[in-house]
Amino acid sequence: MERPRKKVVKERMQTTDIIILAAGKGTRMQSRLPKVLHKIAGQPLLSHVLTAAKTVNDAKSIVVTGFGADQVENTIGKQADAFVTQPQQLGTGHAVQCALPHIRENSKVLILYGDVPLIAPETIAKMLDAVTADQMGLLTVILDDPSGYGRIIRDTDNNISAIVEQKDASPEQLKVNEVNTGVMALTSQQLMGWLPQIDNNNAQGEYYLTDLIAIATSDSVKVKSIQPQSATEVEGVNNRVQLSQLERAHQRQKAQKLMESGTSLADPERFDQRGELTVGTDNFIDVNCIFEGEVKLGSNIHIGPNCQIINSTIGDGVEIKANTIIEDSVVGDNAILGPFARLRPGTELADNTKIGNFVETKKAKVGKGSKINHLSYVGDAELGEGVNVGAGTITCNYDGANKFKTTIGNNSFVGSNSTLVAPVKISDNSFVGAGSTITKDTEENSLAISRAKQRNIDGWKRPTKED
Ligand code: UD1
Ligand code: MG
């Protein structure tokens, strides 16, 4: 039987092209690095903009580079869909002109800035919603001190009619405190039709993108103003002071979200997230902790001060004491780490394990309930359950050319100050006497001991000071 055909209403999905201006050198950064490659939360400024741009369906991002174009392109790579180089910085209008070959015919076009990193997806969506055949969107803000910015000029009906740059403004226009953020959205037809009409007859001899507004008005296209949720969204970075201020603003937002989702922070001003952090509930994070890359925390975790956790997964009920560093590792439930523990890549700790102070692990699988409590190095090793590794134990995993593995069986005990020369296996339930250098595999239920026998010398005379 033939099914009744559903009427498919083919809505023509409109594409979006997002041009990101990033040609400027950023002289005031006093840096060899192009400004847009300076970082906030561990990511280049430009990457933040591209991440926000990616929240738009079907968006194509086009980055306009100039100063350090190769460096920008190499660093950003596939995060952007296209790069164009503006050979000479002749103004924002000229920069957008350079991107035109990448603009599709029936697109909405949004213009963003590589040095304005915190633009929010919600604001981008509002801007694009404002675009129709007879309306464009312009992001504006009202500032107590508008100096330096292009002023928004409105007609007697309060409609936007032009933007006048500070250097071209009359004393009357300078009093306006609604300013241009630079972010605008329009159709590709509008942009292609209007850009050739821009000239450089102005105080700076530049092709001003902002001249589009007056052209739109004369073309009977309404300019709808949109305001960001927060002023930080449209703040640009021109120097390192502003960079640090935006970093903190960004971290404050992250801290806020974390607290709202059930994590306590000792001080939200001393919290740094540089990547993706997923969390359970009822965790406590003390001051100066840094979370980098992809970090997953379970619930009921207590993290002491000055810890750094990178690309790792931490189970429920774990206690991480001060100054512990964890990288590319997995930590089971109820483990106790630190203070001053260092888990290097490939550490996998089962539940109820303990890694104490000044212990370094690397590519180490540690079974349930096993403990390495003090001053040890355990690398390229596999430990069973219930193992106790005494203070100062070293797995000698490297012969200067190759790495070898140490295996320690269930319920074994390694006495303090032992060196285990890999490849070597300590069997289940075996015991290594303190101070041993173990080069041969041990038997189950045995004691391995390799140290000089103690001699006690009677009547030994202590040396005395010479006159
Ligand atoms: C621009 C706006 C101004 C607005 C302000 C907001 C114009 C003419 N003026 O002024 O109305 O209030 O931003 O910050 O647009 N860029 C290029 N190529 C160029 C010139 C600039 O890529 O040839 C990039 C810069 O790297 C920068 C951005 O465009 O990221 C803005 O340029 P900038 O020179 O800072 O413009 P403003 O004078 O601040
Ligand atoms: Mg500027």
For the Cβ of 92 lying below 6 angstroms from any atom of ligand 1, the answer is: yes
Q: Does residue 134 share a domain with residue 23?
A: yes
- Give the closest ligand to the alpha carbon of residue 183: 1
Q: Does residue 127 share a domain with residue 50?
A: yes
With respect to residue 413, please indicate whether it lies within any of the assigned structural domains.
yes
Domain region containing 71: 15-234
**Atom 3 of ligand 1: nearest residue by CA position:** 150
Q: Give Cα separations from 88 to 36, 45, 98, 114, 246 (angstroms).
A: 17, 22, 10, 17, 29
For the Cβ of 89 lying below 6 angstroms from any atom of ligand 1, the answer is: yes
Query: How many distinct structural domains can be found in the chain?
Result: 3
Contact 435, 418 (CB under 8 A): yes
Among left, alpha and beta (phi > 0; psi -120 to 50; other), residue 292 is beta
Strand (E) or helix (H) holding 71: helix 69-76
Q: Does residue 213 share a domain with residue 286?
A: no
> Whole-angstrom Cα distance, residue 369 to residue 297?
20
For the Cβ of 182 lying below 6 angstroms from any atom of ligand 1, the answer is: yes
Q: Does residue 46 share a domain with residue 161?
A: yes
- Give the closest ligand to the alpha carbon of residue 92: 1
Q: Does residue 178 share a domain with residue 136?
A: yes
With respect to residue 242, please indicate whether it lies within any of the assigned structural domains.
no
Of 305, 324, 358, the residue at which a domain comes to its end is 358
For the Cβ of 93 lying below 6 angstroms from any atom of ligand 1, the answer is: no
For the Cβ of 97 lying below 6 angstroms from any atom of ligand 1, the answer is: no
Nearest partner of 115 among 221, 32, 34, judged by Cα: 34
Q: Does residue 123 share a domain with residue 103?
A: yes
With respect to residue 244, please indicate whether it lies within any of the assigned structural domains.
no
Q: Does residue 396 share a domain with residue 345?
A: no
SS3 state at 241: helix
pLDDT per residue of the chain (467 residues) written in tens, 0 to 9:
555 555 554 445 589 999 999 998 899 999 999 999 999 999 999 999 999 999 999 899 999 999 999 999 999 999 999 999 999 999 999 999 999 999 999 999 999 999 999 999 999 999 999 999 999 999 999 999 999 999 999 999 999 999 999 999 999 999 999 999 999 999 999 999 999 999 999 999 999 999 999 999 999 999 999 999 999 999 999 999 999 999 999 999 999 999 999 999 999 999 999 999 999 999 999 999 999 999 999 999 999 999 999 999 999 999 999 999 999 999 999 999 999 999 999 999 999 999 999 999 999 999 999 999 999 999 999 999 999 999 999 999 999 999 999 999 999 999 999 999 999 999 999 999 999 999 999 999 999 999 999 999 999 999 999 98
Q: Of 48, 250, 302, 374, which is the active-site residue?
A: 374
With respect to residue 184, please indicate whether it lies within any of the assigned structural domains.
yes
Q: Does residue 273 share a domain with residue 203?
A: no
Task: Give the predicted TM-score (pTM) of the model.
Answer: 0.92
Atom of ligand 1 nearest to the CA of 179: 12
With respect to residue 7, please indicate whether it lies within any of the assigned structural domains.
no
Q: Domain holding 429: CATH number?
A: 2.160.10.10
Residue showing tokens 């339930």: 429
Cα of 418 from ligand 2 centre, angstroms: 63
Q: Does residue 103 share a domain with residue 27?
A: yes
For the Cβ of 146 lying below 6 angstroms from any atom of ligand 1, the answer is: no
Residue ranges in 137-287 assigned as alpha helix (H): 171-174, 188-194, 211-218, 240-260
Q: Domain holding 99: CATH number?
A: 3.90.550.10
Cα of 92 from ligand 1 centre, angstroms: 6
Q: Does residue 380 share a domain with residue 339?
A: no
**Atom 13 of ligand 1: nearest residue by CA position:** 182
With respect to residue 6, please indicate whether it lies within any of the assigned structural domains.
no
pLDDT of 216 reads: 98
For the Cβ of 208 lying below 6 angstroms from any atom of ligand 1, the answer is: yes
374 is catalytic: yes
Q: Does residue 334 share a domain with residue 381?
A: no
Nearest partner of 393 among 426, 367, 369, judged by Cα: 426
With respect to residue 211, please indicate whether it lies within any of the assigned structural domains.
yes
Q: Does residue 348 share a domain with residue 368?
A: no
Of 358, 378, 396, the residue at which a domain comes to its end is 358
Q: Give Cα separations from 345 to 149, 289, 330, 338, 362 (angstroms).
A: 48, 19, 9, 16, 6
CA angle 441, 447, 448 (to 5 degrees): 45
- Give the closest ligand to the alpha carbon of residue 113: 1
With the most atoms of ligand 1 within 8 angstroms of its CB, the residue from 28, 92, 176 to mutate is 92
Of 320, 343, 358, the residue at which a domain comes to its end is 358
With respect to residue 467, please indicate whether it lies within any of the assigned structural domains.
no
